[in-house]
Amino acid sequence: MSTMPINCNNSSVLVVDDEPSMRIALRANFLRYGWHVEMASGVREAARAFELASFDLVVTDVRMRDGDGFDVMCSVLKDSPNTAVILLTAFGSVPEAVESMRNGAFDYLTKPVSFEQLQAAAARVMKRINQPSDAHRSLELAKVPETMTCGIVGRSPSLLHSLKRARAAASTDADVLVEAESGTGKELLARFIHLNSARSRKPFIAVNCAAVPDSLLESELFGHAKGAFTGASAAKIGKFELANGGTLLLDEIGEMPVNLQPKLLRILQEREFERLGETRSIRIDIRVIATTNASLSTMVEEGRFRSDLFYRLNVIPLSIPPLRQRLDDIPLLASHFAQRYADENKSILPVLDTSFIERLRAQQWPGNIREMGNFIRRVLSLNRGTLIDSECFDREFQPLRSKQAPRHPFLTPGTPISVLERVHLENTLALARGNRTHAAEMLGISIRTMRNKIREYGLPPRTYA
């Protein structure tokens, strides 16, 4: 299947590869379609090229003699966020290449390169650059936000303030605590800190403390020796050890069982631990970033979180604003999600009418960016036209908005708190159409707490997906 020629008369590409034959082949391929082409033999030459000129596209090999394509990508996204980056790798299943997509790469292709695939990717870059806009009725979807790093999209003052603090934190080696609402992008902020730190080329390991059963969390974090407990048929390396040299993200740290908190405190203080079933201490060099959607200081007051662990984690406190404080970012976020899901659906990139954007701005999103992104995904999946307007919004949002919660007897003063909590839980689950994850986000609790509450009140678990 051939790729249609695209108009690239004013577009430039930087080809970065330490193999001369590959550079020449890539250059010839781009020249064929009218691109202005510059070449670099490695990371240092690529940096010099960017000092002299700007580029619409960078195509870079991952493994090179003086560094790798991730170095090039990080530098490009930091200094020239409007430039698209396509990575080339000789290993089709390289996890780092997949991870790079989340961290801002436009695409990645495997060697030997299919020039048809490369031109198809380049055509998408051009589509993003040349997307027409109508100032009177639509937004320019192809516009790349001024701030798009590690998937963080936006340019509102509150977000830029958070990113400025996060970049300052990244320049140190101190542990970080990120407290923010569900769906705001806490993990993305953690990745932003990692990629802007001296540890950027070392591992980034994430653990969701709420998603791992209490009985398995200790082994997941610290590892275990063979035979350490029933079922431990082989030794296992824990997440702390895997993150050695890099960054460990402890997501939803408030869900960590109280009995494990002293062991975590010791690791943070001493940077050493023992695997389960072993007495040998293992020293590690890591930065810990903890995130939570709960107030840890309140949990400390309630006796549910150790005060000494809280103070040890809270060396650098950070936050990321909820969507209601970033209304000016909604058009950029909508464009970002529309591009992502149009590519995912292999469909044309639709125009988002201003009426659709106004509906997005007027709606409350208790699940923040995650909830709005999922809604846009639903709209694009079910409406394959070239225009997404307010009718599309109302058609897809109406069933959720008009859903009636089950009726309950009037709750008089003196009604036990447990009854109030159960009623509120049932109402929220009904509003979320039985989706436990969505309901948990609306209530500001973890999915583990949601599961426990459903079990505590004897609600039928199969009803709630």
Q: Answer yes or no: do 201 and 310 share one domain.
A: yes
Residue in this structure with the two tokens 């050695």, named with its chain if needed? 244
Q: Does residue 289 sit within a domain?
A: yes
Q: Answer yes or no: do 94 and 119 share one domain.
A: yes
Q: Answer yes or no: do 170 and 297 share one domain.
A: yes
248 and 240 in contact (C-beta within 8 Å)? Answer: yes
Full domain range(s) for residue 353 = 323-401
CATH code at 289? 3.40.50.300
Q: Does residue 226 sit within a domain?
A: yes
CATH code at 351? 1.10.8.60
Q: Answer yes or no: do 121 and 204 share one domain.
A: no
What does the pLDDT look like over 383-394, one tens digit per residue?
Answer: 877 889 999 998
What does the pLDDT look like over 328-345, one tens digit per residue?
Answer: 899 999 999 998 888 888
| Mean pLDDT, residues 2-18 | 69
Q: Answer yes or no: do 288 and 216 share one domain.
A: yes
Q: Answer yes or no: do 169 and 291 share one domain.
A: yes
Q: Does residue 145 sit within a domain?
A: no
pLDDT score for 420 = 76
Q: Does residue 406 sit within a domain?
A: no
What does the pLDDT look like over 344-398, one tens digit per residue?
Answer: 888 888 889 999 999 999 988 888 999 999 999 999 988 877 889 999 998 888 5
Domain boundary among 350, 368, 401: 401
Q: Does residue 37 sit within a domain?
A: yes
Q: Does residue 5 sit within a domain?
A: no
CATH code at 87? 3.40.50.2300
Q: Answer yes or no: do 213 and 338 share one domain.
A: no
Residue type, 189: L
Asked whether the predicted pLDDT for residue 309 surpasses 80, the reply is yes
What is the rounded (10 degree) CA torsion for 132, 137, 141, 144?
Answer: 90
Asked whether the predicted pLDDT for residue 443 surpasses 60, the reply is yes
CATH code at 454? 1.10.10.60
Q: What are the two backbone dihedrals, phi and then psi, of residue 63, each rounded to the nearest 5 degrees?
A: -100, 115
Q: Answer yes or no: do 190 and 307 share one domain.
A: yes
| 21 Cβ contact list (under 8 Å, min separation 6) | none
Classify 448 in phi/psi space as left (phi over 0), alpha (psi -120 to 50) or beta. alpha
Buried/exposed 48-68: b ≥16 CB within 10 Å, e otherwise: ebbeeeebbbbbbbbbbeebb
Q: Does residue 330 sit within a domain?
A: yes
What does the pLDDT look like over 15-60, one tens digit per residue?
Answer: 999 988 888 888 888 888 888 899 999 999 998 888 888 888 999 9
The sheet carrying 204-208 orders its strands as 204-208, 247-251, 287-292, 176-179, 316-318
Q: Answer yes or no: do 309 and 230 share one domain.
A: yes
Residue 149 in tokens: 């790093």
Overall pTM > 0.85: no
What is the domain count for the chain? 4
Q: What are the two backbone dihedrals, phi and then psi, of residue 378, each rounded to the nearest 5 degrees?
A: -65, -45
DSSP conformational letter for 252? T
252 and 293 in contact (C-beta within 8 Å)? Answer: yes
Buried/exposed 239-278: b ≥16 CB within 10 Å, e otherwise: bbbbbbebbbbbbbbbbbeeebbeebbebbeeeebbbbeb
Q: Answer yes or no: do 182 and 285 share one domain.
A: yes
Q: Answer yes or no: do 271 and 360 share one domain.
A: no
Q: Which residue in 56, 234, 74, 49 sits closest to 150, CA to CA? A: 74
Q: Where are the beta strands (DSSP E) in 219-335?
A: 223-224, 236-237, 247-251, 272-273, 282-283, 287-292, 316-318
Q: Answer yes or no: do 243 and 105 share one domain.
A: no
